[in-house]
Chains A and B, each alone.
Chain A
């Protein structure tokens, strides 16, 4: 093979991996450098294949060469990766919640058959894959367009912006997603699946369960709905804000107190179940909810107090110096 052919092959292979903007120029340069190296060996005569191969080995593999000439090595680089993972988890969680919501709705509308169940699972998987693909695409674009700006973020970093190491103010995306999924499912159950008689009713279907809840319980549903929806909005707001601010904590405590009040009303009121036999079980569930709300309210108050006294301490220690 002629040395020119070897060079063309090598240059094309490197060029294939180079960014568009300076590809032609780098290709031309590598070609010229290879010619120089060969000429120095053979003093202008046509080199043997072995000589060309040896020179190409010396230059290194096309992949390595391209990498050193600035071929991009990352789809989503180390600077963006942590943010990417947070957003990916959040988006996948939301898509999953919405899909499950859709499944519950469609089951409510018509009794499921086995082949429908497979279609539903397939649908959920493909919507998650699609959502993830879009997130990857957007981040890959940001990576291409905006890397210089991102590097600036790290150079303008201020140590004083570091949050305390043991940070309960930070919001966990996972917890938020779980909250959203379960709250949504419960809201759908209360408002869509239950009918006015407290039965599980399949809309358009010909099957309804026996009455589960008492008329008394059904009267609580608007209150329960408002409370649960408010908690969900608050959880998402905290996630978007990134941490539990004083205002968000106060709102959360208010909701917990409202939850305690509602649960107390339910516990002290008339039977919750349509049949007396089930009433104790229902009351146990409400009691658990009451205790959970109380625990959360106390926890939130404690953390509010902690973060206040900590920032107070920080101010005091600054004024010493």
Chain B
């Protein structure tokens, strides 16, 4: 389940081009701490699935970085996953409120 949520978070963050470290920072500022060994390979897999596109770009310190951007296919997946997540989240909220 956590992996699915991570995919959702990464797709949502990659609306603008991100490189690995900026993405990790962005997620961590929102309270999502994801370790490098999980996050970076995930980017690769999402690209292989066609949900992200990537290219190497020279960064300011003349060192190349790989930037990831959401693809149209990724956009569709993001919309689908968001609907799914909201539905799940509502259902769980109701369940938890009942518990209290």
Which A residues lie at the B interface, using CB under 8 A? Answer: 22, 26, 28-30, 32-33, 35-37, 39-40, 44, 58-60, 64-65, 68-70
Complex partner residue of A69 from B19, B20, B35, B44, CB under 8 angstroms: B44
Tell me the minimal C-beta distance from B32 to chain A in angstroms. 16
Given known A37-B21, A58-B36, contact A32–B41 (CB-CB < 8 A): no
Alpha-carbon separation in the docked complex, A35 to B63 (Å): 9
Complex partner residue of B21 from A26, A28, A40, CB under 8 angstroms: A40
Tell me the minimal C-beta distance from A151 to chain B in angstroms. 14
Tell me the minimal C-beta distance from B63 to chain A in angstroms. 6
Whether B40 contacts A30 by the Cβ 8 Å rule is: yes
Interface residue? B31 (CB, 8 A) = no
Whether A60 contacts B35 by the Cβ 8 Å rule is: yes
Whether B21 contacts A60 by the Cβ 8 Å rule is: no
Contacts of B56 in A (CB 8 A): 28
Complex partner residue of A60 from B37, B45, B61, B66, CB under 8 angstroms: B37
Given contacts A28-B56, A32-B64, 6 further A-B contacts (CB under 8 A): A29-B20, A36-B21, A37-B36, A58-B35, A64-B37, A68-B38
Query: Which 9 pairs between the two chains have the least Cβ-Cβ distance?
Result: A60-B37, A36-B21, A68-B41, A33-B20, A59-B36, A69-B41, A29-B66, A32-B65, A65-B37
Contacts of B20 in A (CB 8 A): 29, 32-33, 36
**Interface of A, helix, strand, loop or mixed by DSSP:** helix
**Interface of B, helix, strand, loop or mixed by DSSP:** helix
Q: Considering only CB atoms, which chain B residue lies closest to A29 in the complex?
A: B66
Alpha-carbon separation in the docked complex, A13 to B94 (Å): 49
Contacts of B64 in A (CB 8 A): 28, 32
Whether A29 contacts B63 by the Cβ 8 Å rule is: no
Given known A35-B63, A36-B19, A40-B21, contact A29–B37 (CB-CB < 8 A): no
Given known A26-B44, A40-B21, A70-B44, contact A33–B37 (CB-CB < 8 A): no
Tell me the minimal C-beta distance from B55 to chain A in angstroms. 11
Alpha-carbon separation in the docked complex, A35 to B41 (Å): 17
Q: Can you pick out 5 interface pairs between chain A and chain B where the beta carbons lie within 8 Å of each other? A: A26-B44, A29-B44, A37-B21, A40-B25, A69-B41
Alpha-carbon separation in the docked complex, A120 to B71 (Å): 65
Tell me the minimal C-beta distance from A41 to chain B in angstroms. 11
Chain A CB within 10 Å — which of B19, B36, B61, B63 has the most? B36
Whether B21 contacts A29 by the Cβ 8 Å rule is: no
